[in-house]
Amino acid sequence: MTDTVDDVELPYDEEAASQQEKIEALRERLDVLESQNEEMRDKLLDANAENNKYQQKLERLTHENKKLKQSPLFVATVQEINDDGVVIKQHGNNQEALTEVTEDMRAELEPDSRVAVNNSLSIVKRLDDETDVRARVMQVDHSPEVTYGDIGGLDEQMQEVRETVEMPLESPEMFEQVGIQPPSGVLLYGPPGTGKTMLAKAVANETDATFIKMAGSELVHKFIGEGAKLVRDLFEVARENEPAVLFIDEIDAIASKRTDSKTSGDAEVQRTMMQLLSEMDGFDERGEVRIIAATNRFDMLDEAILRPGRFDRLIEVPKPGREGRSLIFEIHTRDMNVGDDVDFERLADMADDASGADIKAICTEAGMFAIRDNRTEIAMADFVEAWEKIQADAITDGEPSRAFA
């Protein structure tokens, strides 16, 4: 029940208090009530904000709960579009069905489009084109930091790679004026550690092209058709991102000579290679896509992949000569604190038959010897000792090297 004026307790003695005292008491009571009112107003605002937050959370959970209760959609591929409707084929059971679509949806569809269908096989929406996630991961958006200046002793090989890969991408009009088709691919072969991968990285750095790197072993899969599908996806990614450079390292893993072996593993590898051959010289134009492959087992490659039209340039990348070794020593030590007694010519003579990777290991080992002696400058003796260590740690009698690679 609401209090009346007579029921309200006054903050003063009605009989004893003077008029001034009554006014002061009422003013104090008013201040207290205003303060309490302000406090209650703040609490009300906080409560409203909290209520709105929980209301939004309730709506979100209700929406998510509704989505979770919806029936799943099936994935299908459009086979044909005609006046009677759209012929689709479901993934998994390969069942075909003829379904009706709206005019707006029909305008979005084309053969081989991926669509989502409901239980009645009505097309709900079109899906993005399928591309293997692994192919997306292999894409390199930022070019490696390796430049041609980081490679020594391979001037002739660099020139051939630039003619085969860079020039068709940067100056295609020159090939049109001469009247020839640009080379489609280049195969780098030679011993391990001679700079084949570095050449490919330098191409990615110098060109404004998307660089896609993969190893041949990544195309070898257990189940039938997986390797071939990944090859198709890789070339599709390359075509979507033209101009593009596709680098296949260790191509001998999928392009070795074919045999009469009946094992399922060998058959799957051969199917993958056939798909690669089909992509390299099939009916579909590759556009501005250039291929670089590398192997250290040239003798194992199938003749079919070596013919012109697939790899037009077969470039041998040998171990560097004396001048090349000296230049590689200079390249790997340009950021190192080396002493005045270091003689690169002598180091080149000393490290006879060393590859570029061996020379890099020598430089790293020499730096480790200096650190071991608490020195900040690398002396000639450190390089000599590093070369002796690498020779002693070379793979002999099944023992792996302990040198820095």
- Binding-site sequence positions for ATP: 193-198, 332
**Tokens 């100056």 found at:** 171
Distance CA 211, CA 203 (A): 9
Please state the residue numbers annotated as binding site.
193-198, 332
Strands 244-249 and 139-140: unpaired
Phi then psi dihedrals of residue 210, to 5 deg: -70, 135
DSSP string covering 238-282: HHHT-SEEEEEESGGGTSBPP-----HHHHHHHHHHHHHHHHHHS
Is 296 in contact with 192 (CB distance < 8 Å)? yes
- Residue 243, preceding peptide bond in cis (omega within 30° of 0): yes
Task: Produce one character per residue of 262-278: b if its CB has 16 or more CB atoms within 10 Å, e if not.
Answer: eeeeeebbbbbbebbbe
Is 189 in contact with 118 (CB distance < 8 Å)? no
SS3 221: coil
Residues 6+ apart with CB under 8 A from 207: 143, 165, 166, 169, 170, 243, 245
Paired tokens of 9:
């307790």
Paired tokens of 178:
């001469």
Largest CA distance in the chain: 122
